[in-house]
Amino acid sequence: MTVATARAHPNIALVKYWGKADAASNLPATGSLSMTLDIFPTTTTVRIVDRDHDRVVFNGAEREGTVRDRVVRFLDHVRLLAGREDRAEVITENTVPSAAGLASSASGFAALAQAASTAYGLALDDRSLSRLARRGSGSAARSVIPRFAVWHAGSDEQSFAEPVQAPPIEMVIATVDAREKAVSSRDAMQRTAMTSPFYPAWVTSTAQTLESALEACRSGDLERLGRITETNALRMHAAIQGSDPSIRYLTPRSWAIFDAVAQLRGEGVLAWATADAGPNVCVISPPEHTAAVAERIGALADVVIARPGPGVRLQETDA
C-alpha cells in the first residue's frame, strides 16, 4: 500500500496527563483516562511520493515551519520503523471549528499514525499504533481507542492506551474563548514541572486518582467518577498556576461555568466540570441530564454535545 486514509476524533481527559517522564518519546509522568468524542473528526491521507521532501497540507493550505517540522519528525520515526526512506504527502482535513477551542493534535496525530503506518507498509496492532500516536502528541495515544481509554505511564513498551468500560456519560463542551492559548501545553507542562512546588504533589496524587477512577469505572459509580474528574482538573490547574511565571488558563467565564455546574448539582442534576489547558469547560453528565446541563450552560457560552465516539479507523481513499 502506498496511500492510506484514516479518521480519528478528539478526546477529553477525565484524569489528566500533565507532565512528562521523558520528553523525547512523550512518556507521561502519570497515567490518564479519557473519553473519545463522536464529533469533530480529523481525516488524514498519507501518500508515498517520488520526491525528495515531505509535503504537508492542512485544510487546503500548504504548511511550512513548525507544523511541517513536527509532522516530518513523526514521519521520520515511521520511516525508521518501516526501514524506508521515501518521502510522503500528508493531506489533513480537520473539522474542529476553530471556534470550538478544542485541541486537534490528539485526533490529528492518531489519524496520522494510522494513515502513515499503513502507507509505509506497517501493520500495527492497537497497542503499537497507540504508542506511535503518543510520539506525535501525548494525548493522541488515547484517540486511537473508542469510547473510554486509559493511557498507561511506564516505559516506551508499556505506555499505550487501551479501552476501559465506563458508566454512561455525555459531554457538554462550552466554548469560552476560541483564541489560540497564550502558552502552549508543551511549554506550560515543562514550566509546571520545573517551577511549580505543587508539581510533585500533582504527580503522586494523580497516580492514586487514576486508580480510584478506574475502580469507579469498574463498579459503574458515575458520581464517584464525576467527583474525581472535577477535582483532578482543578488540581491540574492549581499546579499550573503555581508555576513561575504563573500561568492561568481559566478565566472568570470559565469559573462561572464551574459555579453553574455546582449549582446544578445542588438542584439534583448530576454534572461535573473539567477543563484542559485553556479557558473552555467540558461538563460530563449521564445522558438523561445532558439537556438540562446544555440549557443552563448554554446561557453562559456556546455549547455543543458530544457522546462517546469511535477509535481511529482506516477509510476509503478518494482518487
Examine residue 70 and tell whether it contacts ligand PMV (CB under 6 A).
Answer: no
From the list 122-130, 133-141, 152-160, 304-312, the region that binds ligand PMV by CB under 6 A is 133-141
Q: Can you tell me which of 276, 284, 297, 312 binds ligand PMV, judged by CB under 6 A?
A: 276
Q: Can you tell me which of 101, 138, 226, 311 binds ligand PMV, judged by CB under 6 A?
A: 138
Cβ–Cβ < 8 Å for 271, 261: yes
Query: How far is it, in rounded angstroms, from Cα 81 to Cα 122?
Result: 8
Per DSSP bridges, beta strands 313-315 and 3-8 are antiparallel
Examine residue 17 and tell whether it contacts ligand PMV (CB under 6 A).
Answer: yes
Q: Which is nearer to ligand PMV, 32 or 254 (CB)?
A: 32
- DSSP secondary-structure letter at 29? S
Examine residue 152 and tell whether it contacts ligand PMV (CB under 6 A).
Answer: no
Q: Which is nearer to ligand PMV, 186 or 227 (CB)?
A: 186
Q: Can you tell me which of 9, 16, 135, 191 binds ligand PMV, judged by CB under 6 A?
A: 16
Query: How far is it, in rounded angstroms, from Cα 260 to Cα 230?
Result: 13
Q: Tell me, letter by letter, the H, E, C secondary structure of 168-185.
A: CCEEEEEECCCCCCCCCH
Size of the site for ligand PMV (CB under 6 A): 14
Q: Can you tell me which of 42, 105, 254, 280 binds ligand PMV, judged by CB under 6 A?
A: 105
Which helix (H) or strand (E) element contains residue 108?
helix 105-119
Q: Can you tell me which of 4, 8, 29, 32 binds ligand PMV, judged by CB under 6 A?
A: 32
Grid cell digits, residue 138:
501525548
In whole angstroms, how close is the CB of 142 to ligand PMV at the nearest point? 8
User: In angstroms, what CA-CA distances link 192 with 28, 68, 113, 138, 201?
Assistant: 14, 27, 28, 16, 12
Query: How far is it, in rounded angstroms, from Cα 114 to Cα 53?
Result: 21
Map the footprint of ligand PMV across residues 209-238, applying CB under 6 A. none
Name the site residues for ligand PMV (rule: CB under 6 A): 13, 16-18, 32, 103, 105, 137-139, 185-186, 276-277
